[in-house]
Amino acid sequence: MINSLNSIINKYDADPTRLMDILIDVQHKYDCISDEAVTFLADKLNLSEVDIEQTLSFYHFLSKETRGKYTVYLNNSAVAGMFGREAVAKAFEETSGCRFGEVSSDGLIGLFDTSCIGMNDQEPAAIINGTVFTRLTPFRVREIVNGLRKGLDPVDLQDVGLGDGNNNLDIIGAVVNNNIMKIGPVLSRDYKPGEAIRKIIQMSPEEVIREVKHSNIRGRGGAGFPTALKWEFCRNAPGSKRYIFCNADEGEPGTFKDRVILTELPLLLFEGMVVSGYAVGAEEGILYLRYEYKYLQKFLESILKMARRMRYLGKNILGKEGFHFDIRIQFGAGAYVCGEESALIESAEGKRGEPRDRPPFPVEKGYLNQPTVVNNVETLCAAVKVVLKGGEWYRKLGTHDSTGTKLLSVSGDCRFPGVYEVEWGFNVSQILEMVGAEEVQAVQVGGPSGTCVGPEDFNRTLCYTDLATGGSLIIIGKNRDLLRDIVLNFTDFFIEESCGSCTPCRVLTVMMRDKLQKILDGKGCSKDLEDLEDWGKLMRANRCGLGHTAPNPILTSLKNFRHLYEGLIPGKRGFDTGFRMEEALAEGRSLRLEQLKLQDHE
Amino acid sequence: MNELVNFTIDKKECMSTKGKYLVDAAAENGIYIPTLCNITGIQPRGACRLCTVKVNGKLTTACTTPVYNNMEVENESPELQDLRKSIIELMFADGNHYCPYCEKSGDCELQAIAYRYRVTVPRFPYSFPKREIEAGHPLLAKDHNRCILCKRCIKAVKDDDGRSIFAFARRSHKLTISVDTRLSHVMSPEKAAYAAEICPVGAILLKGAAFKKPIGERKYDKKPIGTELEM
Ligand SMILES: Cc1cc2nc3c(=O)[nH]c(=O)nc-3n(C[C@H](O)[C@H](O)[C@H](O)COP(=O)(O)O)c2cc1C
Ligand code: SF4
Ligand code: SF4
């Protein structure tokens, strides 16, 4: 073991800021990161054991115990639940002989839940040793587990046929589908690689920024910050080096459009990073890619190689003296909060993904304390089109304050889930019609962190000033139990994904969930609804967007679907009217029993 | 270099040096902003959120915000006072805090701040978690029941090579502090005493040193927290 640990450490120059890569490689090689490995790494990297464990224990896909020869990560997002996850999970448990959270006694199969894996348009889905399985049924599960028992590799079990587009290439070979349903300027087929780079090297960096500024494009990752301004701040901030990060963490449940860009237009994205690097004066770009998309690694690396061959990357790009830029891929390891830009930077520095306090902002002090731009995948792709066709052209698309197009990830109860590129300014009704959704109870706009709207709001428009969205639209049909299937699931998601640093985010989310559960169990009173509203307000005191939005599933459904809550409160009572004697005494009884047992032993 | 700036806290005119963190700048002007995770002189990491203020109308933490000219700070409004009170209540409801027989009682910042904010019964349900006490370290005991995860020990106590003796483990409501067993065995008594001292609550205890100070002579027995600034 020592030899291979050493070679992993040396691969990353024994650099503690590359701890994520090191841990991921160790996990890959040994199915776990043992105590022995932790001690060895600590000594080699001049860290303490708890330093290593601080990072290790933060991430969902890293573990100290082995998780089985084949590790099944079954998505537990709300939409997976809507499409039969329960039966699939049961089939996994029956066939492998262990429960979720456990490894089968022969060590062959481990079963684990995981937050949304970016396949909401083809659920239920799971990842088994890096291979993605979509549209699972109990029947498929039995086939898969039996195949694994026979010694087949997960890759060989994709006998339902590979997906569309590049998913079909040998180098990806995934059963995943792109489901591109509507094409616009970003996804259009007229993309000619290198054209934008050829154009910008004739311009000054300031001119590039000016063009992007004129387009009025804003960030597509959710926060909507003006892109040109971000680049300008970074360019002007003092620092010895500058960095461009592409945020491909795509963890918001129900979002999968970045996956489709990464699969079909990776070169467009890399070109966007080069453009941004040129504008900002950076020489290093990092694609922070969520671990769930590791099946795209070989493909993306081959595209990077090609880009270097074409001289889109490297030294003196396309012959432009002094214009150097290259890109590396940094994997995450399972943490939604790492999509928050400062947490993403912490993670890329080998630490737990805990968001930073602001100020300073990443554009002033980001990666390794240097000025850093973090942009979403789609933002960078759109920027290429802006550079090519001009800011004037771009600002004519969309609305006055939300220019251009937006890629929507549509999932849930509709006939045509998938990716739609539409101009900003569509209203919810139009979109529902476009995607073939009828009998709609609610639409979750912007994922769990967004807003749950009902029919009275379907005339509202998608734009930064009304219904802002990073692109996730989850459609919830009339037959669904909104509070149990959606709101509770989303609240659990935030509980699981909080970094835990801020007191309200760590503690209050759990208390709000418990209160919701109390109401669902028919034990609520109207005071509970007031409590939920009051407690939700306290979440504004948290440090980052995760904590600010964590109460949204409850708060927005309480606002727009209050009758569902009220309907669960027996006799509309205003206070707790009783308790069950048996339950109230249960804990005391069990302690007493334990005590008696101890006495018997003595 | 030391540029002076003027700003207001609850409309009171204040003056300090540009770039100084708001908690410290406020203290210079005789204004107390409560903190549980901050240690003056160490890079802050707004963890407890207790020092939440409004700067130009926006919520932010005073321990991480540098002061600048014409900044308008809201500190003791009823809204913020209630917000802080609820954060303190959350800490009590989330852990197991047995003040009457805690070794830190009377010297505990959480307890002192709870008195200041007149916390009686938390509005939140107690969660009565089951948590461990680690007694295996030679000089220290670590009681997870009382830990408020303020991160002070992580930031302030390192070994001579800069390695962490205390660190976070896991995330979400499962977050805990872990103590490095190898390093705790070679920790100097001074460092151990420092760790116990900076821990705002009784979560890091020096072995063999409990209840040394008689009731009446403990830190907050005579001077309630914050009043040293406000006199
Ligand atoms: C909890 C949380 C998760 C986030 N996840 C993502 C993400 O997966 N992808 C993304 O681009 N932005 C995400 N963001 C927003 C980023 O912090 C940041 O604003 C964005 O990457 C900036 O890029 P843009 O300006 O191009 O949108 C997230 C923010 C929060 C608070
Ligand atoms: S709000 Fe939540 S996720 Fe964000 S820093 Fe605080 S604890 Fe971490
Ligand atoms: S042990 Fe003490 S200092 Fe460390 S995090 Fe817990 S409460 Fe804070």
- Tell me if A499 and B171 make a contact (CB, 8 A cut-off): yes
Distance from first CA to last CA of chain B, Å, rounded? Answer: 31
- Tell me if A506 and B83 make a contact (CB, 8 A cut-off): no
Q: What is the pLDDT of residues B51-81, one digit of tens each?
A: 999 999 999 999 999 999 999 999 999 999 9
Residue nearest (by alpha carbon) to ligand 1 atom 22? A375
> Where do the domains of chain A lie?
2-56, 70-160, 182-395, 405-480, 483-572
Residue B1 has pLDDT above 80, yes or no: no
Cα–Cα distance measured from residue B49 to residue A198, given in angstroms and rounded to the nearest whole number: 49
Ligand located closest to A498 CA: 2
CATH number listed for the domain at residues A70-160 = 3.40.30.10
- DSSP alpha helices (H): ranges in A390-503? 391-395, 428-434, 488-497, 503
Residue-level pLDDT at A521: 94
Q: What is the pLDDT of residues A545-568, one digit of tens each?
A: 999 999 999 999 999 999 999 999
E-strand spans in A338-484? Answer: 372-376, 405-412, 418-423, 440-445, 451-453, 472-477
Residue-level pLDDT at A160: 72
Residue A602 has pLDDT above 70, yes or no: no
Answer CATH for A483-572 from 3.40.50.720, 1.20.1440.230, 3.40.190.10, 3.30.360.10: 1.20.1440.230
Mutate to test the interface with B, among A503, A517, A544, A590 (most CBs of B within 10 A): A503
Average pLDDT of the segment spanning A354-359: 94
Q: What residues contact A391, with CB distance under 8 A and at least 6 apart?
A: A211, A212, A213, A214, A215, A216
Q: What is the pLDDT of residues A228-273, one digit of tens each?
A: 999 999 999 999 999 999 999 999 999 999 999 999 999 999 999 9
Cα–Cα distance measured from residue A458 to residue A150, given in angstroms and rounded to the nearest whole number: 51
Answer CATH for A182-395 from 3.40.228.10, 3.40.190.10, 3.40.50.1360, 3.40.50.11540: 3.40.50.11540
Q: What is the 3-state secondary structure (H, E, C) of A156-170?
A: HHCCCCCCCHHHHCC
Q: What residues contact B214, with CB distance under 8 A and at least 6 apart?
A: none
Average pLDDT of the segment spanning A6-25: 97
Q: What is the dihedral angle through the alpha carbons of A427, A430, A432, A435, rounded to the nearest 10 degrees?
A: -120
- Tokens 């734009």 found at: A463
Average pLDDT of the segment spanning A203-220: 98
Output the pTM of the full model. 0.96
Residue A127 has pLDDT above 90, yes or no: yes
Instruction: Report the residue of chain B nearest A500, measured CA to CA.
Output: B172
Residue type, A499: C
Q: Which residues of A touch B172 (CB under 8 A)?
A: 495-500, 506
Mean pLDDT for all residues in chain A: 96
Q: Which residues of B touch A62 (CB under 8 A)?
A: none
Instruction: Report the residue of chain A nearest B151, measured CA to CA.
Output: A501
Q: What is the pLDDT of residues A452-507, one digit of tens each?
A: 999 999 999 999 999 988 899 999 999 999 999 999 999 999 999 999 999 999 99
Ligand 3 midpoint to CA B159 (Å)? 17
Mean pLDDT for all residues in chain B: 94
Q: Which residue has the higher pLDDT, B197 or B211?
A: B197
Average pLDDT of the segment spanning A85-90: 98
CATH number listed for the domain at residues A405-480 = 3.10.20.600
ipTM field: 0.94
Average pLDDT of the segment spanning A510-515: 98
Domains located in chain B, CATH noted: 4-76 (3.10.20.740), 84-221 (no CATH)
Q: What is the pLDDT of residues B208-219, one digit of tens each?
A: 988 888 888 999
Whether residue A500 lies within 8 A of chain B, CB to CB, comes out as: yes
Tokens of A347: 């993670």
What sign results for the dihedral spanned by CA atoms A419, A424, A428, A432? negative
